[in-house]
Structure 1
């Protein structure tokens, strides 16, 4: 099977093939890229017009075809231009996974504007920080985010507001209907492949989110990598006499995906939405994740692929309606955001009659996936994240920045067209994370003899809660704002549903000065809800430290008992 994979890999990336590689020089650094990829996301979007009357966006009782979506995107793009948006300007989107998200996104791509994805879970101060950081000319927001916008008092410059699905219209705000109500021809544009396509914010180690600058080249390369991963593993499996699809899977009229993770992350936007758009498929949006509702949509919309964080797959399979729901259209179940546990890989294979397990490992900083693995390759190596895609060089390095021997543990570094340009307004963070084109992932890994990558630990001080990165320093900073707190350390606690949840050990000199309920209330509005510690320990003595004064988190965690937490 692995010999067939190596052979198919070489054939598909060779000269004259669909995924032929080339070396491009970007900012003085040579990077691997796909020679035949579209030059920009504008070209990528325009190529989907050929899908015409096929369904594209579905939300509850609403349905848009590709033709209708292109008409609305053209109208929105022209509205942007008439309101002063030029190539390189920024347009922020702050909303749930409504269809308007994708329409606004493609309108930005069409004219060379940068789409800034605002985390819909942010507390008001976090939203305010990101607006001041990105300085968008326009912000498109749903009703919940509009309420937050109206509370902002320290904006350096207030952007033009567009209201989406709001019962009331704030003063001077435009309604989304104004943007899409006119027939327009798509405006022309020349777009540099290495210009910013979108900015997605990642949690910051210093307590402030960092705006990752994803380029057109990087985002299109990610879509190519996703297509390559499916094709190369299908070809290899077929040659090895192991069909990648189960014989029970039935053919459906259209590829379709359930959009179940936020579009302000690369999993939903770059991996799900881009790949489905490239294939002429259908994106089915949900108001929020609910396993029961998801099963209804799988049956009614004939969903073929579901890609989310591992807990979503677990909840889907465990739901009481699963066995009586027609899931025969489903061909792939899994996703990213966190490693699928080996037991879940086997559970998907055995529980879903038609679907194969699959996952991808990647980061915002790589515009999506670095690796991908599915079907029998995943069953054979359930602890692996798969091989790095062709447009990446991938190596493991020790703490001195020297490559480790094959199979040994080290920090995974990657280099290629998908690596971001850097962080917005943060040159120091950029230079710390990317050196000579090499992105330091912060993950400890090993690479086996077949080139498959195994992620074994995180170098970063971070909690991965249900696919959301929560940096411990950010939560610690927020807790330290309370005057009663003398010392605090934040860490992750394993959780069967979410993978990890946030926990904190707090030392108070005055033990009666605050309790868990009061501290959580204090944190509301300072940090997003999912960052507030689920477990709190109030200690009677200072936290243990090493000789250099750093808290001994691992030693402390081993002593703390969950049942004693508040």
Structure 2
């Protein structure tokens, strides 16, 4: 079979605008005319709404304040280290107004994990939340970044974003915003977003301004935004609708879909700082939320949590699930719980600046098991294990040419050459594509696992495990989990002294396992913990070149899980 072509993109995409110029300052044929009374963002707890003009003013004020106070300028790097906050997009767009680059960090990271990110991107400034401040200050100190260059979204002993905004609004302009040259948006870096590779620590994906702009327009055309394709009450994305902004904004899913695509569609985003299920349900009811962008573990809660019987969610019109595959059985359950809602999946990658496939507006319920239909402007091919092109309905690795493709990995030519090959993005996912362009994820060929939608590199955990005194060798594999999607399990070869202790006292087996799990918990963010357990083995299987035979242990892990379920 030849290459697979999705429908061509019919609308224009500006290549001389930065993201804030596109989102805050410009119009587009696919963009609904925003209403002045519809807020762009709503603070969940207080209900305070912030409209377009206020967002725009706060963005300018912060940009001017950052220029005045810190001399922030072209290509300086700002790390945002915070849970979701109503000024999160202001922090991003203010940095971009100055020509700077943003790197969003997981607020659950510990000092070492944040330090790694600060060093890789050469951060000039950190915008943190008070709940993350201790970690931010510790990592800043270790990176040689002065503590006064750590500011906060909310009240603290540090300089706050609001103080800088007010200073910037009171003062004369201290910067001149640059209009990009024709085509420059395709090369000017907007984000350094971290994505786990198959080896080592997470890598910084360089995303241009054009990438998210293109991805927003690509999705808008795919979803027929601002087109009268159906009666108003049946249209999927309607101005004035409300989204639950519970996805973490540091993740590409939340960053592009919630913070950029939704404002483009004139849909209000309720900013939810931290996901707690019953509080989330309270928010949906309180704000009459219509749109849910979720990951599979949250769908599991909607289907199975006993609190659901206490809530009427008739206001929900659309449920979009992404970041990891959603089983057909869960979709069936969700349809029964939310019979009035459209339900489907999307599929994307950080390296694609967002979405690659999304369920079509042609159907109320997405094709069961499908990750969605290829979006406009994308060319795909499926490569079989022998290197030949697969046909429709044949499995193989998905490779795509997508206009929003990232620029590559920062300072990592080897990884860039492996993933971005002759214009093709290698997804590392084994898929089947049907004639109607529906994409079905079969398996991940690359070694990354997905835990609650977050990427986890086995090699990163293996490096941590090898620091434990009792661990001589190790291999980490995923096991399936109905809630989290996957969980890390570690196979461990013990050092001789640990083997001797166990021979003397069999109870030492559990003590060593607990110690190993605690070691990872003490050094890694929660979703990287060994929730799948620890199993001792005599040897880690490897090929003649020393490469881990991870698939052998994945099969063994699956057998162990099945055996335990029968006991």
For this structure pair, what is the TM-score category when the shorter chain's length is used for normalisation?
A: 0.7 to 0.9
SS at match of 1:414: strand
SS at match of 2:185: coil
CA shift in 2, pair 1:428/1:235, >3 Å: farther
SS at match of 2:201: coil
> Counterpart of 1:193?
185
> Counterpart of 1:398?
384
> Counterpart of 1:516?
513
Q: For the residues of structure 1 that align with 2:389 and 2:263, how far apart are their CA atoms?
A: 38
Shift of 1:485: 0.6
SS at match of 2:417: helix
Deviation per residue, 1:301-324 (Å, 9 max, x gap): 121101010221231343444355
> Counterpart of 2:557?
557
Unaligned runs of 5+ in 1: 1-5, 14-18, 22-33
Shift of 1:235: 7.6
> Counterpart of 1:129?
116
Shift of 1:474: 0.9
> Are the counterparts in 2 of residues 332 and 355 from structure 1 also a CA contact under 8 Å?
yes
Equivalent residues in 2 for 1:26-65 (5 A)?
A: 34-35=12-13, 39-47=17-25, 51-59=35-43, 60-61=45-46, 62-65=48-51
1:417 maps to 2:410: no
Picking from 280, 300, 319, the partner of 1:333 is 319
Q: For the residues of structure 1 that align with 2:37 and 2:448, how far apart are their CA atoms?
A: 45
Shift of 1:109: 2.7
Picking from 10, 16, 20, the partner of 1:20 is 10
> Counterpart of 2:262?
276
Structure 1 length-normalised TM: 0.86
Deviation per residue, 1:239-269 (Å, 9 max, x gap): xxxx89669x9x9981111111210111111
1:503 maps to 2:489: yes
> Counterpart of 1:27?
none
1:529 maps to 2:501: no
SS at match of 2:314: coil
SS at match of 1:403: coil
1:266 maps to 2:252: yes
Q: For the residues of structure 1 that align with 2:51 and 2:489, how far apart are their CA atoms?
A: 45
> Are the counterparts in 2 of residues 56 and 66 from structure 1 also a CA contact under 8 Å?
yes
Kindly tell me the number of residue pairs found equivalent between the two proteins: 529
> Counterpart of 2:213?
220
> Are the counterparts in 2 of residues 138 and 159 from structure 1 also a CA contact under 8 Å?
no
Structure 2 length-normalised TM: 0.85
Deviation per residue, 1:324-347 (Å, 9 max, x gap): 534233210132111121122222
> Counterpart of 1:24?
none
CA shift in 2, pair 1:492/1:77, >3 Å: same
> Are the counterparts in 2 of residues 246 and 354 from structure 1 also a CA contact under 8 Å?
no
> Counterpart of 2:82?
95
SS at match of 1:524: helix
> Counterpart of 1:29?
none
Shift of 1:500: 1.0
Q: For the residues of structure 2 that align with 1:345 and 1:235, how far apart are their CA atoms?
A: 28
> Are the counterparts in 2 of residues 93 and 139 from structure 1 also a CA contact under 8 Å?
yes
Deviation per residue, 1:95-117 (Å, 9 max, x gap): 01111211101212333321111
- Larger mean Cα displacement after TM superposition, 509-518 or 91-100: 509-518
> Are the counterparts in 2 of residues 41 and 109 from structure 1 also a CA contact under 8 Å?
yes
> Counterpart of 1:315?
301
Shift of 1:175: 2.0
> Counterpart of 2:436?
450
Shift of 1:166: 5.4
Shift of 1:462: 2.0
SS at match of 1:394: strand
CA shift in 2, pair 1:53/1:255, >3 Å: same
SS at match of 2:143: coil
Equivalent residues in 2 for 1:232-271 (5 A)?
A: 254-271=240-257
Q: For the residues of structure 2 that align with 1:100 and 1:336, how far apart are their CA atoms?
A: 25
> Counterpart of 2:507?
none
Q: For the residues of structure 2 that align with 1:490 and 1:336, how far apart are their CA atoms?
A: 24
Deviation per residue, 1:367-418 (Å, 9 max, x gap): 1100001566474621112222122211112346542233321111111221
CA shift in 2, pair 1:437/1:80, >3 Å: farther
Q: CA RMSD in A?
A: 3.0
> Are the counterparts in 2 of residues 245 and 356 from structure 1 also a CA contact under 8 Å?
no
CA shift in 2, pair 1:379/1:222, >3 Å: same
SS at match of 2:149: strand
Picking from 162, 165, 168, the partner of 1:180 is 165
SS at match of 1:151: helix
CA shift in 2, pair 1:207/1:56, >3 Å: same
> Are the counterparts in 1 of residues 342 and 365 from structure 2 also a CA contact under 8 Å?
no
Unaligned runs of 5+ in 2: 28-33, 503-510
Shift of 1:276: 1.2
Q: For the residues of structure 2 that align with 1:149 and 1:298, how far apart are their CA atoms?
A: 32
1:426 maps to 2:376: no
